[in-house]
Structure 1
Amino acid sequence: MLNFEILATEGHARRGRLALNHGVVQTPIFMPVGTYGTVKGVTPRSLEEMNAQIILGNTFHLWMRPGLDVIQSFGGLHRFERWDRPILTDSGGFQVWSLGEMRKISEEGVKFASPVNGDKLFLTPEVSMQVQTLLDSDIVMQFDECTPYETKGHLTTEAEAKFSMELSLRWAKRCQAEFTRLQNRNALFGIVQGGMFEHLREASLAALVDMDFPGYAVGGVSVGEPKEDMLRIMAHTPHRLPAHKPRYLMGVGTPEDLVEGVGQGVDMFDCVMPTRNARNGHLFTRFGDLKIRNARHKTDHRPLDESCSCYTCKGHTAADGTVTGGFSRAYLHHLERCGEMLAPMLATIHNLHYYLHLMQEIRDALEAGRFAAFAAQFRQDRARGV
């Protein structure tokens, strides 16, 4: 099931509501990445407290570990990982792309050796649909070839991008046919490819729209291209997708990318950046980025962000008035220097809260008809620095 309503617009930007089998998602939305059935460093309870409405799972990695038999015994991914809100699963296409020389692509699918135990495996559009149906994800992504920015040491040519894009279109038809055969009652999204070539993006988009998917994604960005090329495709493609269906920009990005993407008509985002950067002591704040390992934080009594209400910055007040949490930069610096596991946990809570709260602020601004003013103030604040 998928039902998408647009509640407000400002330019290309949209404020919407997306109803799925496991709940309603308010858009624009950022989706934390839970590759192996968990968002690294946080509990499901913490995700609920910071109002994560939908999270990602990874088809490829869950297929490898723990294996389909284990997840099937729980009746799907929701019960396995104890998350009762919506889940989106990617198709495995990006992971196959990242295997590089370890995989062989053909018309039928991709042959590769399992990075876990070396088993010879064959991932096809049909297998991807079968795995995602077993996972029971609310949004299923078509199996595609993620067109690289560089191919064997040279920039991907127009001909190479066209071949890859057309292969993904043929795979999209096979995904749709298998999804229907399996009587999957969730939602299947098509993925626009075409590399850095706008006319190929338009051809991919037109063909996918003809297939009438419930939603659409823009793939093949954040694959090593310069930032200006990513922004060029972001400005070109999303707002050309059907206005009455949800639009998802895959693998993007920084806080600035999210605000820019919303302005270009994107409804849904995901990226490993807030969690991965947290594990490396890189924190996002309203007033710029902060690297907590730097010596200047050693004696700093301030929180990461005075304006942030997350557990790491402000703590939690119990019914009896007792406050827990609310940690100083000095303490977080100390944890990082000592290699304590609490350091990435607290950093992850903060970064995800920052991303999710940013999206809430964007939704509020769109409802009030002041998104342009919000975006201008956001850029000014971020440039100010911590």
Structure 2
Amino acid sequence: MPPLSPATFSFHCQTRCSKTYARAGVFTTPHGIVETPRFMPVGTLATVKTVTPEQLRATGAQMVLANTYHLHLQPGEDIVAAAGGLHKFMNWQGPILTDSGGFQVFSLSEIRTINEAGVTFKSPKDGRLISMTPETSIQIQNQLGADVVMAFDECPPYPASEEAIVTATDRTYRWLQRCIDAHQREDQALFGIVQGGVYPELRQQAIRDLAKLDLPGYAIGGVSVGEPPELISQIVRLSAPYLPESKPRYLMGVGTYREMAQAIASGIDLFDCVIPTRLARHGAALVQGERWHLKNACFREDFTSLDATCSCYTCQNFSRAYLCHLVRSREMLAYTLLSIHNISELIRFTQDIRRAILEDRLSETFAHWLN
């Protein structure tokens, strides 16, 4: 088994907020650095929907995600490996993180079975039976070649009984140990995932168990699976500060302003969410904390930029009226331009928080989101 924390990975905390658990840091990977806290765009099928890699770089993105489950189904990890790995395949030279496929597999509740060995499910593409185990998940991710790979975990839905959560949390730990044994590449950092549902004691025990393994990084999973926002905030607040300080902390599947701000104040470093591109495909823009639907008639003759304070390509070149026209016409360019802006907006939001941490003014500047 290769070392779990190779020299090519490191996390350096530059400074901490004097009033919260927030911190500004630098996560170093083989394909570059990630300045934290940072929002990471989701590129499910080795592409962030509707934007090119060059456009994505211009948003300020430093690290992107890809999805193990979806890439296993199409085109297959063998093809990605033959292309030279994800970085060459999708022409993204920055850091990449692949999830384990666990969340997607467990969302197939009506066409999958689970036992200690792993999960068996019917492919939604052709109906063939596929077995996903901790070992196969890691093998697939080793072939995909991302910088960060995630352990295969059991992600129970909300609500679930305490007994079901205990079973899933214990199994997640046993599966993590199998993932460690299966991991074969020194140039990939394996992150463990904290489960435990909405039960603080289970979360705390999971953190203690995972911390003993001295992994390169840790993620909080099992949130944004149906819980109300106040429960998500509570889970993060009772979990993040207790994760190892010397390792990056990743909150999976969260990307709203308030949730990110509150999670950063609890000590989280990395986030991912499909929100910016999904909203764009529905004709919506994120503008300084608000959600604007560009199809609305109020934008038809509004020739100002989408956001005068934003430096993204969309805001620097196009008016609200033009975006409204594109959305109403269902032109593909609408989705590209809105995706560029929405991704830029969430990255800028986390960059602004980072600057506030460095200048020790987080609580004052972002009081609206933290309260």
Under TM normalisation by the shorter chain, which class is it?
over 0.9
Per the TM alignment, residue 75 of structure 1 is displaced from its structure 2 partner at its CA by 1.7
Give, as a single letter, the amino acid of the residue that structure 2 aligns with 1:9. Answer: R
2:338 paired residue among 344, 347, 353: 347
2:84 corresponds to 1:93: no
In 1, are the aligned partners of 2:262 and 2:369 still within 8 Å (CA)? no
TM-score by length of 2: 0.95
For 1:22-65, what per-residue CA distance to the aligned partner results, in whole angstroms no more than 9, with x for missing partners? Answer: 11111111110000000001110011112210000100100110
2:281 paired residue among 269, 275, 279: 279
1:64 paired residue among 36, 60, 73: 73
In 2, are the aligned partners of 1:133 and 1:184 still within 8 Å (CA)? no
1:174 paired residue among 160, 178, 182: 178
For 1:306-327, what per-residue CA distance to the aligned partner results, in whole angstroms no more than 9, with x for missing partners? Answer: 211111111xxxxxxxxxxx21
What is the aligned partner in structure 2 of residue 214 from structure 1?
Answer: 216
Per the TM alignment, residue 301 of structure 1 is displaced from its structure 2 partner at its CA by 1.5
Per the TM alignment, residue 131 of structure 1 is displaced from its structure 2 partner at its CA by 0.6
What is the aligned partner in structure 1 of residue 12 from structure 2?
Answer: 5
Output the CA distance in 1 between the equivalents of 2:224 and 2:78. 33
For 1:72-116, what per-residue CA distance to the aligned partner results, in whole angstroms no more than 9, with x for missing partners? Answer: 111211110111110000000010011111110110000011111
Give, as a single letter, the amino acid of the residue that structure 2 aligns with 1:160. Answer: A
In 2, are the aligned partners of 1:286 and 1:307 still within 8 Å (CA)? no
Aligned CA distance change for structure 1 residues 95 and 201 (closer, same or farther; 3 Å): same
Output the CA distance in 1 between the equivalents of 2:320 and 2:202. 48
SS in 1 for 2:366: helix
For 1:280-302, what per-residue CA distance to the aligned partner results, in whole angstroms no more than 9, with x for missing partners? Answer: 11211115221111121111112
2:48 corresponds to 1:46: no
2:246 corresponds to 1:244: yes
Per the TM alignment, residue 373 of structure 1 is displaced from its structure 2 partner at its CA by 1.8
Aligned CA distance change for structure 1 residues 269 and 214 (closer, same or farther; 3 Å): same
Pairwise CA RMSD:
1.3
Output the CA distance in 2 between the equivalents of 1:274 and 1:18. 23
Give, as a single letter, the amino acid of the residue that structure 1 aligns with 2:103. Answer: F
Aligned CA distance change for structure 1 residues 210 and 336 (closer, same or farther; 3 Å): same
Output the CA distance in 2 between the equivalents of 1:303 and 1:349. 14
Output the CA distance in 2 between the equivalents of 1:101 and 1:90. 22
Give, as a single letter, the amino acid of the residue that structure 1 aligns with 2:13. Answer: I
Give the length in aligned residue pairs: 362
In 2, are the aligned partners of 1:241 and 1:247 still within 8 Å (CA)? yes
2:279 corresponds to 1:270: no
What is the aligned partner in structure 2 of residue 115 from structure 1?
Answer: 124
Output the CA distance in 2 between the equivalents of 1:49 and 1:178. 37
Per the TM alignment, residue 374 of structure 1 is displaced from its structure 2 partner at its CA by 2.0
Per the TM alignment, residue 227 of structure 1 is displaced from its structure 2 partner at its CA by 1.4
Give, as a single letter, the amino acid of the residue that structure 1 aligns with 2:14. Answer: L
1:1-386 to 2 correspondences below 5 Å: 1-10=8-17, 11-150=20-159, 156-179=160-183, 182-286=184-288, 288-314=290-316, 326-376=317-367
Output the CA distance in 2 between the equivalents of 1:227 and 1:359. 19
SS in 2 for 1:104: strand
SS in 2 for 1:75: coil
In 2, are the aligned partners of 1:311 and 1:350 still within 8 Å (CA)? yes
Output the CA distance in 2 between the equivalents of 1:57 and 1:46. 17
Give, as a single letter, the amino acid of the residue that structure 1 aligns with 2:300. Answer: K
In 1, are the aligned partners of 2:257 and 2:369 still within 8 Å (CA)? no
What is the aligned partner in structure 2 of residue 321 from structure 1?
Answer: none
In 2, are the aligned partners of 1:147 and 1:165 still within 8 Å (CA)? no
Per the TM alignment, residue 219 of structure 1 is displaced from its structure 2 partner at its CA by 0.2
Q: Which has the higher contact order (CA 8 A, sep 6+)?
A: 2
What is the aligned partner in structure 2 of residue 384 from structure 1?
Answer: none
For 1:335-377, what per-residue CA distance to the aligned partner results, in whole angstroms no more than 9, with x for missing partners? Answer: 1111110111110000001011111111111111111122126
Per the TM alignment, residue 183 of structure 1 is displaced from its structure 2 partner at its CA by 3.8
SS in 2 for 1:278: helix
Per the TM alignment, residue 148 of structure 1 is displaced from its structure 2 partner at its CA by 1.0
Overall identity of the aligned pairs, in %: 46
TM-score by length of 1: 0.92
| Structure 2: runs of 5 or more not aligned | 1-7
SS in 1 for 2:42: coil
Aligned CA distance change for structure 1 residues 277 and 96 (closer, same or farther; 3 Å): same
Per the TM alignment, residue 257 of structure 1 is displaced from its structure 2 partner at its CA by 1.3
Per the TM alignment, residue 136 of structure 1 is displaced from its structure 2 partner at its CA by 1.0
Aligned CA distance change for structure 1 residues 267 and 379 (closer, same or farther; 3 Å): closer
What is the aligned partner in structure 1 of residue 3 from structure 2?
Answer: none
